[in-house]
Amino acid sequence: MLAIRISPVKPLAVLELDALPFLLRGGSLPRSSSAQSCPLTAFEEERLLSRRLLSARCPGLRAVLVLWAVVAWGSVVGCRGVERRQWPFPKVEAHDDASVLAVFTRRGQLPRALYAELQMSFDSKAEAGVFDVVVVHESSGRLRMKAFRDGAFYSRDIFDLVLAGDRFEMILWKDEGPHKSTGSLDELSAVHPGFVTFALLRERFFLPGSLGELAEERVVRTKDGLSIESSGRSGVRVTWRLDPVTLGVQGADVRAAGTGRPSRIEFLSYREVEGRFLPERFELHDPDAGVLIEGRLKELELDFEIRDEDFELTPVESAGRVSPSWWPA
């Protein structure tokens, strides 16, 4: 089935084959450059992950139909409107601080595992681009984010990031080739400051809630509204801004220990999945890093069977081509 998807993040027409099989393999499969269709495996059919793969994709299929995407974009760009805000939170009667914290904690209960597919745009003084991101998280705290961009005649890896405990592993693809780095979370800002807020919040970026059992949290009521101040691991401090009627999280100010201005996140729209409320559109502005990131949730799966290999970085020797650059001229 042929489907034309219009991104609400940037004016970009994305042409996809819904039947194109992708699965979560953590970098274990080679990239395919064939224009032939890829047969579904039993694992793919079971997982129903039919659009994206952490490592193996078939970019040739997009090249065959790229002109169709250009024509389609030209015909619909004038009809595209503003995406509607979704706010599925019910009204809450929580008159005291304890009730507010109880609702906040209950809504933030983490699933055993989370798989998400997003489209994101990245904008800084030096770089800008639009790419797809696959996120995998498990309840033990491990999180993996892998980004790539599919072009007409190529498929380009952008970065592959794994967070576990207070350590990170990362491969960042540049024009001259892939660069791998490891270290503590404090050292991540030296590799790329735009990733710091994701590293501080981790799963709470995709499901706002308590920073953990040891977190200190208190309700703050001012004339400007209602918020919860949290302090958690590694000295991170978060101010969650709440809608006073539904107690839905409207945004967050995130500050690492010893840093300057906080990063500011706006959760613009939500999606309710299995009783959980997950941000569907967001904006992140990090003034110290000079970074603006916008994102839209496309696919989501909760409580699936996760494997250790899902958190293994893509082998550098089997990574995608590194040119042309994903950064536009």
The DSSP secondary-structure symbol of 259 reads -
Distances (CA, A) of 156 to 1, 112, 119, 129: 25, 31, 15, 12
Is 287 inside a domain boundary? no
The DSSP secondary-structure symbol of 113 reads E
Cβ proximity of 151 and 322 under 8 Å: no
What whole-number distance in Å separates Cα of residue 60 and Cα of residue 319? 16
Is 74 inside a domain boundary? yes
Element of type H or E holding 298: strand 291-302
Is 183 inside a domain boundary? no
Distances (CA, A) of 161 to 125, 139, 316: 22, 17, 13
What per-residue confidence (pLDDT) applies to 329? 29
The model carries a pTM of 0.72
What per-residue confidence (pLDDT) applies to 57? 41
Is 45 inside a domain boundary? yes
What's the full length of the chain, in residues?
Answer: 329
What per-residue confidence (pLDDT) applies to 150? 78
Is 98 inside a domain boundary? no
The residue among 10, 137, 88, 139 whose CA lies nearest residue 280 is: 88
What per-residue confidence (pLDDT) applies to 317? 55
What per-residue confidence (pLDDT) applies to 316? 62
What per-residue confidence (pLDDT) applies to 30? 29
Q: Is 86 helix (H, G, I), strand (E, B) or coil?
A: coil
| DSSP alpha helix (H) spans, 108-193 | 185-191
Q: Which amino acid is at 164?
A: A
What per-residue confidence (pLDDT) applies to 160? 94
What per-residue confidence (pLDDT) applies to 11? 33
Q: Determine the longest span between alpha carbons in the chain, in angstroms.
A: 61
What whole-number distance in Å separates Cα of residue 13 and Cα of residue 182? 36
What per-residue confidence (pLDDT) applies to 253? 97
Q: Could you read off the pLDDT tens digit of each residue along the chain, which spans 329 residues?
A: 333 333 333 333 333 333 223 323 333 222 233 323 333 333 333 333 333 344 334 444 444 433 444 444 444 344 444 578 899 999 999 889 999 999 999 999 999 999 999 999 999 877 888 999 999 999 888 999 999 987 777 778 999 999 998 899 999 888 888 989 999 888 887 778 888 898 889 899 999 999 887 789 999 999 989 999 999 767 789 999 999 999 999 999 999 877 778 999 999 999 999 999 999 999 999 998 899 999 999 999 999 888 888 898 877 654 443 333 333 32
Is 237 inside a domain boundary? no
What per-residue confidence (pLDDT) applies to 94? 86
Range of the domain at 32: 2-79
Counting the structural domains of the chain, the total is 1
Is 65 inside a domain boundary? yes
Is 50 inside a domain boundary? yes
